[in-house]
Structures are given as C-alpha cells and as structure tokens.
A = this chain, B = another copy of it.
C-alpha cells in the first residue's frame, strides 16, 4: 500500500486571477502577507428541472436551429480569430520594420564615427519604451493578460473558471500587449497569446452579448451556460493555435488534449471547422497584404518553411542521435523550468506591485537590447552576403564589404525570422561559437522574460534556443567525421533541437507533434519529431514538471489530470468525499438558505436536496439559489400576490455568468420566515456513486461526464458525502507513492 505523505500547502500568487476574496497566509510564512484572491471553482450548469422541461418541449426543428447556430458561431470564431492574428502580424511587422531600419541606419552612421554607444542607447531606449507601454497596460489594467495565457486556458478547459480570463478588455490588452513586447525585442513570441485571444473571441461571440460594451444582442441565449460556453472556448483555442502555427489539425488536437472529456464527434468537427476558417482567413488577408492575393500556401503566423524531403531526408541510424538530442532537450527544459519556478516564487514575494512589475519588464528589455548589442559587437562571425540573400536587415558592422555579421541574423531580427533562418540557411552561415554564445544568452534571457508582466508566449523563444543548439549539434557532427558531413545537415538538426527544447519546456506531446508536422509540412518527419518529444518529456518529467503545470500549481488551482494516480485503487469514495455535507430540504426555510450561503466556511457550490430521512432527491447549485433569492420565489409570497411572476429559465440565463454575491441580496426578517420550494429548480437526477466505489472509478466518472459534484450515497440512497473537484485534485503521485496535497482554501 502506498503511503500518504502530507505536504505543506501551496499558497499562491493569485493576482493574475484577480477577483476579490479572502486573505490567506503566504508561501513559507512570509510576513508580507498578500491577499489571496478567490479563484472561482467549478462550472455551474443550469441543468435543472426548468431546463429539462425546455429541452423536452423543443421540437426537432428547434434542435436543428441550435445546431446551425453552433456552426455559424464556430465560423465566426474562426474568422475573427484569423483577423486578430492577421492584425497582430501586420502591426508587428510594420513596427519592427521601422525600428530595425532606424537602428540599422544609426549603426551604419556611427560605425565609422565610432560612437556606437549611441546606437546601443537608441536600441535600448526604443525597446524599453515599447515594453514599458505593454507592461503598463498589463500591470495596471488587466493583470490576467500577462504571459501566454495558455495556463489560464488550460484551467478554463479543465473546468476551473478564472475570473476575467475571457473578457473583451482582456483581449484588447492582450493584443496590444503582445505587439508591444514583440516589437520591444523581448525574447518572446506572439503565438501563445493567440490561443488566449481565440478563446476570448469564442466566449464573447457565443454568448451574444458583451458586459464590457453593455450590449445584449438577444441571440444565442441557449448557449448561456457553462458546458456550451466551454465547448465554444475550446473551438476558440483551437482556432488560435491554427492561426498561430497554420496547423488546423494541431489546433483540434490541442483542444482535445487540454479540454476534452467525452469525445463528441460533432463538437470536434465544429472545432475543426473553426480552425480551418481561422487559418484560411489569416492566409487570405495576409496574401492580400503581401499583394499575392489567393496564394494560400504559407499559413500561420510562424511558418517553418518547406523542408524538402530529398535534401533533408534522415537515415535510420540518425534516430538514436535524435533521441539523444531529445534527452538533452528534456534536461535543458527541466533546467529552464527549475530556474523559472524559483524566479516566479521570487516575483510572488518581492515583485508584486504593478510599478515594480513595469520596472522589471523595462529592465529586462534594456538588458536584452544591451546583451544583443554586445554579442553582435564582439562577434567575429563574418559571412559573405549572397546575392539572393534573405536577411532583411543584414548588419555589416566590422565585416568586410559584401559580408555581414552572422550573430546579427540571430539577434537583430524578430524571433520568427531567426528560427526560420536557423532552419533553412545553408551550411556555414553560422559558426559554432556564434551558436553556442547565442544559445547561452538567449536561454537565460528567455527564462527571465517568461513570467514578466507582459503578454507574450514561450513557444518561439523555446524553438529558437533549440534551433540554435540543434544547429550547433549538426555542425559539430558534420565536423567529426567526413561521412557525417554528407548527411548531417545543420537545418535538419536545428529542427530536431527546436522540437526537443520546446518539448522539454512545455511537455505537450500529441498536439505538439502534429503542430510541428503541419508547420514543417512534412509528414516524414513525424516519427523523429514524435520520438524526440517523447524522450524530452520522459527525461524532463523525471526532474521537473512542465512549465505550464508549474504555473498552474503555483496558482493552487485544483487541476484534474487525465487519470487518477496509478496506485490509488485502494482509496474509495468514502475516504475521498467531503463529509458531512450540508443538505437542503425540498421545501426549505429562506432564512436557513441565506445562512448557509452566507457562511464562508461552507463555500460549496452544490447542495444535495433531500427528503426526510436524508434520502437524496436532487441537487441545487449556489448560483441557482441566489437567483431564486434575488427574485424572491417564496411560497408564502406567492400566495399573497396574485400576479406573481413565474421564474423562467431566462432569469437564470440573464444572470449568467456573473451571479451576484449573497451579500448583495437583501432578505427581510419577514421573508426569512418564508419557505422556498426547490423541486422545480433542482437537478432531479444527479449522478451518484456508492460509498465503496474506488477512486479511479470516481475519477473516470468525473472526467468523462465533466461533473462538478458527485453525491456519495449509501445503499439506502441516503446522502453520505459529496465529491468535488478539489477532493480529487488532492491526490497526486509523488516520488514516494501517493501524496495528499493541501490545496489552499479558495
């Protein structure tokens, strides 16, 4: 039998989730106690009697209409996401173009005059001001827009609602923020934020209203509930991936990997549709922008360029080499995550005021510019400029005429272009020293950058680090033996290195393989990429979790993984459940309900409804009770007023998703004595399990059905306890067997 070792509770920096809430002691008892803002847990589903009745009344035609609306919404999501990606791409390209042109002219002017420090200062100031703008927006106006947004979307799709994560304001800040950070020359990418952007678009479009704009279009009201909204958000996330990488299938698999519970064919098909439309829209508008209308061959914000099979073919005996590189990627990824973990903890403790966060971001921007400048300045890697060169801003510096500085192609460029040139530039474009130094500096810069209060992704920096050391491996291999020089194409090894490094940091598997396959447009690389990602994951997992998982854990979110821990079969529902559980009677006194809801120690979201003696007859949600209280659906009142307005499903939908807190509802002393009949509003057939059900079975039920509350009953159908997401998220497979975590009270 496994031992349950008790571990100290994680506490967390939850301002990213920014909602008002209670206070809690901080990590390791730091005296600078900061408020832990409340993270909303669990989805609420209006699966009550009213809803079931509505569904029963619906005709076949009505179902058809709903289905058609779903398709229309998914098409819209794809279209808008594609447009946003297109907007970001064009703005970044324009601004970065201007910036690099100005700096290049300045450098060219001062190279001979000898006043290169002026160029450095110009570069640093330009970068810092862009980053400052982005950081101010994020830190002061919408902290949730920081980072790539992927951990937040993962949580959302997993079933944990994080306040403000899918709001219009977040989207605006995210889009402007990512433009600023990319143009500001940070070691970041614009791909991760696209996933978040797609999700926000989806949440907005599917609800047919916007709270930020205070507009309700009175459409799609049926979709105003968590399960439907979640389905659309997964379509939005897929559309985002698809726009970012030109990988519609990869997008679908990303959504499934992160969000799916029960595989629903129609839903998957719709998600695929949204992804396709998104890639297509981006493609189409970019082709118009590039004056090549109709040329749809270069999808996605990042495109790895075409890997020609003949030139880039691999041999069977290279596969072990690739796997060794995968292992190296796993190691470096674990190191990256380890450093970032401690950096994040440092930030939670000491860098939590918005102005400090902005200052840190500006510092990083200036340091990045300075490091890049110094590296370029001291680089001696001069390469002849080919007549058909693809470098957009070749820097001559101290090289001879007709040559350019090779370090500058890596640093003096947007990261996307640098990745592509590492993949495709011919042999001899970079020398080994340049690549080694670049890897080293960029690794630490990227690690420092992730977690700053700017909106930015980690995909592209990871790819860039990996491509650099991968290319280095290729060069070293080619130099070892004479035969190796024929097959050790540095571009090929750059691709494998990029996959290894990215896999080692984010630890995605299936979807990442497909994304890489689609971005390279080469199916034959599927197997090596897959093996590399697997190796990287296995090696990396041995030391440290994936970057996103680390950040999710730091938020103390009750994230449910795919399966119950392997050795948990001996645990049963009896041990796992929360007990005793507060039950309501079918006809309950208003005062009792108000007291229960106001009691902060019982912050359950669902309450079993029982008939005496304790026999289960339904389940009602906190949010439903609040709507009932707000509309004063009390039995005594109903008798006294003749024209009592009957509560309808619409009332629940209008209140969704921001139900008022119990404190805002005033209930008079008289009203407290009234009764409430819950029969009509509760879910009459909640899922139940017997006491002896094993944890893996409970877990499977939870995940497969997307449950939020599972009532545990004895063999007389009496309520014995309630299993919630948090009860399941506690168990965790550590190095010494099963461990029980104490999740912070949220």
Contacts and interface: CB of A to CB of B under 8 A. Distances in A.
Interface of A: 2, 52, 55-56, 58-60, 63-64, 246-249, 253, 256-257, 260-266, 268-269, 272-273, 276-277, 279-280, 283-284, 294-297, 299, 309-310, 313-316, 509-510, 513-514, 517-518, 521, 523-524, 526-527, 530, 562-563, 566-567, 569-570, 615-617, 684-685, 687-690, 692-694, 697, 700-701, 703-705, 713, 715-717, 733, 737
Contacts of A527: 276-277, 279-280
B685 A693 contact: yes
Given A284-B316, A563-B264, A733-B60, A295 B309 contact: yes
Given A296-B313, A704-B704, 10 more contacts: A58-B567, A276-B527, A276-B530, A277-B527, A279-B526, A294-B315, A295-B313, A521-B523, A685-B697, A716-B716
A2 B523 contact: no
B299 A266 contact: no
B297 A316 contact: no
Contacts of A701: 687, 705
A257 B265 contact: yes
B567 A60 contact: yes
A208 to B, nearest CB: 22
A569 B705 contact: no
Q: Report which residue of A64, A314, A717 has the largest number of chain B beta carbons within 10 angstroms of its beta carbon.
A: A717
Nearest to A1: B56
B700 A705 contact: yes
Given A52-B569, A524-B299, A715-B617, A510 B60 contact: no
B518 A569 contact: no
Contacts of A563: 264, 266
Contact of A262 (B314, B693, B704): B704
B263 A263 contact: yes
Contacts of A690: 685
Contact of A570 (B56, B253, B694, B704): B56
A264 B692 CA distance: 24
Given A60-B733, A697-B685, A701-B705, A248 B526 contact: yes
A444 B635 CA distance: 71
5 contacts: A56-B569, A60-B733, A268-B510, A700-B705, A701-B705
Contacts of A299: 523-524
Nearest to A264: B562
Given A294-B316, A715-B617, A262 B265 contact: no
A693 to B, nearest CB: 4
A264 to B, nearest CB: 7
A514 B569 contact: no
Nearest to A258: B265
A570 to B, nearest CB: 4
